[in-house]
Structure 1
Amino acid sequence: MIVFVAALALGATPALAVHTSPLEIDGDVIPFSAQDWQTLFFSGGVFNCSTTAPGGTATSKTCVSERLDDTASIFTGGGSKDGLDIPFWAGKEGSVPDKDNLVTAFAARYTSGTDQILYFGGDRFATNGDAQIGFWFFQDNVQFNPSTGTFSGNHQVNDILILSNFTQGGTLTNIQALLVTAISASGDLSFTTIASASAGTTFACNGPDTICAATNAGTTPSLDPNYKDKANTPAGTYPPVAFFEGGLNLSAFNLGGECFASFLMETRSSQSITAVLKDFVGGAFQPCQAGIVTHVRADSNNADLTNNNNVAFPTPLHDQALVTGTPGVATPTGTVTFEFFDNLNCDPANFVAQESGTLSQVIAPTATTGGVAEALSPSRTPNPGPHSYHAKYNGDSRYPATGFSMCEPFTVAQVPSGISTFIADPITGADLTNQALNTNSGPVSVVDKATVTCGIAPTGGVTFTFFNNATCTGSGTVDNCGLAGGCPLNASGVATSGTHLITAGVFSFNAVYNGDFNCLPSATSSCEPVCGLPFLTHP
């Protein structure tokens, strides 16, 4: 079932005259007052349509030729109709009536001021009888697979179908532009007619000049110097009504932001939208791909921290994704998925989090540059150690999703640590540093206590050294509490040595923190002296 809805209203901004500039719609390929198809394409023969051009300002262009024998691809099957979705279409190698046999199809897109304009054209092998020609502009990448006879890709809302019919030997011309507005679950398309024109001549434009079509009223040089029609017109010459071209101002119908990845020129069995399709020529058109570039950024000043191996702690930071679209097409929209890892190579083994950010435009598109949108991941303050981000764009109605960007490694540097110590009574915890202890009753038990500070809670242990002098010189007794990593820190960052005995004499302690994953080892603490004396007693 084909559904038609009311036509779209024209925009308020006056549209550019399609048929005069930037490309002429005048029924030939020769540039006169503006660009024409010869401006855009060289053609090296019927089987060698080249998009290499001597000039022109088109932002996208393509030219496709096919063979004129039974190895050419044609439509087949009752499902090959404009009103059905692409998966219903089928093709094969074969031939069609000569008047329906397409030779070359070409298309171009221009940015002209604020307008986006599509131009399209083609030629056929014979001109006997009426001609029903269609042009599809697909947002999806529609392709034919000759080995299976199937088409890949799907219709999307805002795909455009241009239909033009030349009747009475080409003297009556009409053209209409149809917009896909919906695709049902069963594959039926709904259309709206956005523009149409007709005339009793070989040229037709609507009143606002937003859609035009033309065919050649007489013989004219062909785009391909080796073109040869069925009637044996001299080589390199189009006989009357063998050539067709047209134009549509996309911006006049609020379609200037759409991107068309592929196009197809077709011939049809009749003027009806339900007509079975016959021949086709098509290929890629616009590069409707978004690119993604990512950087790790500091929250405070937007400094690029990607590949930085010495990021200070604590540094709040985020990942920035810049997504760039196609020149002349709307800027990508939608979301970006960010992934964060505790390693330098985005290895899933150390995956930490997946986060999302919404794109917002930062640079508008121009005729030569794509629009750029930015998305930011949520802020985080990573601990010292290796980390990385990557991100992917999730696509929108114009652009497919991308793969993940290149991995963005960075390393947060370990934090310098400090250590302070004192000699303590193991029972009361009283500070005995630099004190004289009474040894009349025998040796006095002491411990050394070390408090470690770091920008993040330290772990690990402390190595204490006990000396038999007051200056921490010479060889002392190393005290690691019997542990390889040293006497362990508690939750408050305090470590306690084993018990040492103070006898008559002078002694001292110092200590060093051995560091952990987050904190660097400390410098050696200040020397802590203590002495033991037998106090005098009076009778």
Structure 2
Amino acid sequence: MGCASILGLAFFQGMPAANAVHDTSVFELDGNATRTVSDDWNEVCFQKTGSAATCGTNVGTNGASAVGWVSEPVLNSSIFTGGGSKDPQNISSWLWKDEAGGLPDKDNLLHAYAARYSVAGDDVIYFGSDRYDNSGDAQTGFWFFQDAVATSGPKGSAFGFTGLHMNGDVLVVSDFSNGGATSTISVYTWDSGCAKAAAKPKAGDCGDVNLRLQETSNAANCASAGANDSFCGLVNPTNGTASPWSFKDKSGNTSFAQGEFYEGGINLSDIGLGDRCFSAFSSETRSSTSTTATLKDFVMGGFGNCGSSLTTQARNAADSADLTSVSIGTGLASAKDRATISVTGKATWGGTVQFSLHGPVGPTATTVNVGSAVPVTQATSFPITSAAATVSSVGQYCWSAAFDSSTQGVPDAVDDGTNECFTVDPVTPALDTSAGDDVVLGHAVSDTASLTGTATQPGTTVINGAAGPAAGGTIQFTLLKADCSTLATGTGTNPQSVSVSGDNASYGPVSFTPDATGTYHWKAVYTPASADPNNLGSTHNGSCDDTDETVVVNTIPTSLTSAQRYLPNDRVTVSADASGGGNLAGSVHFLGYESNDCSGTPIVDQTVNVSGASPQTVGTTNTTTFSTSSTISWKVDFTSTNGAHRSIGATCLEASSVTIDNGGTAHSG
């Protein structure tokens, strides 16, 4: 094969070239495999294999996003076989064998390689191969697969492949004829919309079943290509071109004879495929440049392992620290999520990340998208942070993030790992009480409660919904006797409860009337509503050690002050001095004075009848009492109604003094 232009690709219809592939300064297309100024195939070899002994260097490329380098293990290995092994057929129809024999030396590939770069926003792929012999015409092709195409195990009498074609897979076909002096190059893309070939296909037409022709050219030698070429190719121009890896051709040469080494490049962005990620590549030899040509030898390998990964971490609402737990607070807790996207095998890519929150974990859990999908590209500064999510119920919640790739060949990715879960903890409201004053037996004692620090109950929509109603439940007041265990008895309800509705400094007061004196203790217990997980119960004065909750039921003390009183009365005995006059009959008139000589106004004036045999004693029945020391005198007379007896005139007969000395006051203690 002589020095010739072997890859000639024109622009995709209507698309001007942005970057010339042969002079991008990122990769050398100079007809050899060894670095001079920019990256070259010896560095691709090392980056792929890591073997300095194999590749002749211990340096990798400077910025290739995907590389492939494959060595054919032995001559006549991996040879196409079977009538279905043709480019228009899907890979599921392809078959291959080892050591099949009959392969022309000029079609026997020894190594194949590829590298991908991003150049000023365009995606460029460089590719190449070397072969066992340069004698005779040869046709070759390069496939770039988006699926992870690879050889597989037995399939009937041969072997098969894994993976399938995807729309946008690229095929570059080159024809080496007349010793390489003539080259016809065509670029196709896999297109399942092509049912058959056009009569005379031109750029944009279906070149065959499943293959759309992008362009054809025979005038794009990298050594003479213009400044804006979208593609070019060339072979080594002279014998003796050094091989950086172990190489031996049919003639025994350990360097490349003229035309045994081939390399080229294509700007994918110019054919609208810059967004595709290719997972595998294959270099193939063929019987002709026809799309239905029989395929011969191939060297296939991975190309950058197109993939994506997503790592995430739950964060607090301020995005200032990782999050494992948070309090429900007053009823709404907030959290965020972080995500980092890593893409391999493709320098430029795009997509979106959707954050979601699942919880609270359990039978009623829901999953809610948090915020809109966040656009991301290779230029995004990672990690990215989600919008804040609010939850209105305690429990365990788990973030998840999903990367939706918009770059064909770059797979989607999700992450819902252990770093994504956090717990929302309930609150314990503060319960305090204040008992009323001590009382006298027969009166009620009272107690009042203060409940603060409650959280609202869960809302109807737990994630990103409104807070629920105020904390509910009850506060139960219990009055205990001095031993802190015996329930107080008396009048009223004990224990008794009041309903709760959120924070309140004055629940109650409640009251109860004990039936005995003594020391009593109030105890209060808050019990949340049955369907309220956000608040925990709390107890105040459960051990009766809060003196503010102690009340005493007392008796009233008494005192006694003695004071003497006297009742002045008089008595006389009436008798007849001789017998024979019959019974006494008449009346005695008593006049009592508060003096010693019957002067003044009488304090007692009473007439008492006298009748009966002599003698008769009669007296006054005065009921007026006196409480001070006094002198009393009495004047009496007898009026007889028995003519046989004489009357007695009023006479001041007696006087007496009474002295009172009261004894003071006695107390009950």
TM-score calculated relative to the size of structure 2: 0.63
1:100 to 2:112 alignment: no
Is the 8 Å Cα contact of residues 62 and 107 (structure 1) preserved in structure 2?
Answer: yes
Residue number in structure 2 paired with 1:401: 412
Is the 8 Å Cα contact of residues 334 and 388 (structure 2) preserved in structure 1?
Answer: no
Change (3 A) 1:322 1:354: farther
Residue number in structure 2 paired with 1:411: 423
Residue number in structure 2 paired with 1:483: none
1:522 to 2:538 alignment: yes
Change (3 A) 1:10 1:488: farther
1:386 to 2:396 alignment: yes
Counterpart CA distance in 1 for 2:150 and 2:352 is 26
Counterpart CA distance in 2 for 1:51 and 1:360 is 45
Quote the offset at 1:102 in angstroms: 1.0
**1:86 partner letter:** I
Is the 8 Å Cα contact of residues 262 and 282 (structure 1) preserved in structure 2?
Answer: yes
Counterpart CA distance in 1 for 2:80 and 2:499 is 79
Counterpart CA distance in 2 for 1:497 and 1:201 is 99
Unpaired runs of 5+ residues, structure 2, are: 1-10, 197-207, 458-470, 489-494, 557-669
* Secondary structure in 2 matching 1:221: coil
Quote the offset at 1:281 in angstroms: 0.7
* Secondary structure in 2 matching 1:87: helix
Per mean C-alpha deviation after superposition, the further-off stretch among 49-58 and 121-130 is 49-58
Residue number in structure 2 paired with 1:213: 233
Q: Which of 286, 299, 307 is 1:289 aligned to? A: 307
1:475 to 2:484 alignment: yes
Counterpart CA distance in 2 for 1:364 and 1:49 is 33
**1:524 partner letter:** H
Is the 8 Å Cα contact of residues 295 and 304 (structure 1) preserved in structure 2?
Answer: no
Quote the offset at 1:104 in angstroms: 0.4
Q: Deviations over 1:389-412 (max 9, x none)?
A: 344445553322335442223222
Counterpart CA distance in 2 for 1:360 and 1:499 is 61
Per mean C-alpha deviation after superposition, the further-off stretch among 151-160 and 177-186 is 177-186
Quote the offset at 1:133 in angstroms: 0.9
Per mean C-alpha deviation after superposition, the further-off stretch among 107-116 and 494-503 is 494-503
Counterpart CA distance in 1 for 2:446 and 2:87 is 90
> Whose radius of gyration is greater, 1 or 2?
2
Quote the offset at 1:488 in angstroms: 8.3
Change (3 A) 1:279 1:337: farther
**1:153 partner letter:** G
What are the residue-to-residue correspondences of 1:456-467 with 2, within 5 Å? 456-457=456-457, 458=471, 464-467=477-480
Residue number in structure 2 paired with 1:152: 162
Quote the offset at 1:185 in angstroms: 9.9
Identity %: 28
* Secondary structure in 2 matching 1:245: strand
Change (3 A) 1:24 1:87: same
Q: Which of 64, 67, 74 is 1:68 aligned to? A: 74
Change (3 A) 1:497 1:137: farther
Counterpart CA distance in 2 for 1:108 and 1:417 is 65
Counterpart CA distance in 2 for 1:522 and 1:129 is 94
What are the residue-to-residue correspondences of 1:18-97 with 2, within 5 Å? 18=22, 21-41=25-45, 53-57=58-62, 58-70=64-76, 72-93=77-98, 94-95=100-101, 96-97=103-104
Is the 8 Å Cα contact of residues 332 and 372 (structure 1) preserved in structure 2?
Answer: no
Counterpart CA distance in 1 for 2:267 and 2:54 is 26
Quote the offset at 1:320 in angstroms: 3.9
1:364 to 2:378 alignment: yes
**2:310 partner letter:** I
Counterpart CA distance in 2 for 1:152 and 1:398 is 16
Counterpart CA distance in 1 for 2:352 and 2:391 is 26
Counterpart CA distance in 2 for 1:304 and 1:311 is 17
Change (3 A) 1:222 1:315: same
Quote the offset at 1:129 in angstroms: 2.1
Is the 8 Å Cα contact of residues 289 and 399 (structure 1) preserved in structure 2?
Answer: yes
Change (3 A) 1:67 1:377: same
**1:307 partner letter:** T
**1:136 partner letter:** W
Quote the offset at 1:33 in angstroms: 4.5
* Secondary structure in 2 matching 1:237: coil
Q: Which of 116, 122, 129 is 1:115 aligned to? A: 122
Quote the offset at 1:229 in angstroms: 1.5
**2:65 partner letter:** T
Change (3 A) 1:306 1:364: same
Is the 8 Å Cα contact of residues 362 and 372 (structure 1) preserved in structure 2?
Answer: no
What root-mean-square deviation, in Å, do the aligned CA atoms of Structure 1 and Structure 2 show?
A: 4.2
Is the 8 Å Cα contact of residues 172 and 199 (structure 1) preserved in structure 2?
Answer: no
Change (3 A) 1:362 1:19: closer
Change (3 A) 1:36 1:133: same
TM-score calculated relative to the size of structure 1: 0.76
Quote the offset at 1:243 in angstroms: 1.4
Q: Which of 337, 349, 352 is 2:365 aligned to? A: 352
**1:400 partner letter:** P
What are the residue-to-residue correspondences of 1:227-246 with 2, within 5 Å? 227-230=247-250, 232-234=251-253, 236-246=254-264
**When the two structures are aligned, how many residues end up with a matched partner?**
490
Change (3 A) 1:226 1:507: closer
Quote the offset at 1:355 in angstroms: 3.9
1:191 to 2:199 alignment: no
Residue number in structure 2 paired with 1:426: none
Change (3 A) 1:434 1:339: same
Change (3 A) 1:327 1:287: closer
Change (3 A) 1:161 1:203: farther
Residue number in structure 1 paired with 2:633: none
Is the 8 Å Cα contact of residues 319 and 338 (structure 1) preserved in structure 2?
Answer: no
Per mean C-alpha deviation after superposition, the further-off stretch among 453-462 and 120-129 is 453-462
* Secondary structure in 2 matching 1:41: helix
* Secondary structure in 1 matching 2:273: coil
Quote the offset at 1:266 in angstroms: 0.8
What are the residue-to-residue correspondences of 1:444-463 with 2, within 5 Å? 452=451, 454-457=454-457, 458=471
**1:364 partner letter:** Q
Change (3 A) 1:371 1:414: closer
Residue number in structure 1 paired with 2:524: 511
Change (3 A) 1:25 1:202: closer
Residue number in structure 1 paired with 2:187: 177
Change (3 A) 1:150 1:30: same
Change (3 A) 1:531 1:488: closer
Quote the offset at 1:280 in angstroms: 1.0
Counterpart CA distance in 1 for 2:69 and 2:555 is 107
* Secondary structure in 2 matching 1:220: coil
Quote the offset at 1:381 in angstroms: 1.0
Counterpart CA distance in 1 for 2:23 and 2:135 is 27
Residue number in structure 2 paired with 1:268: 286
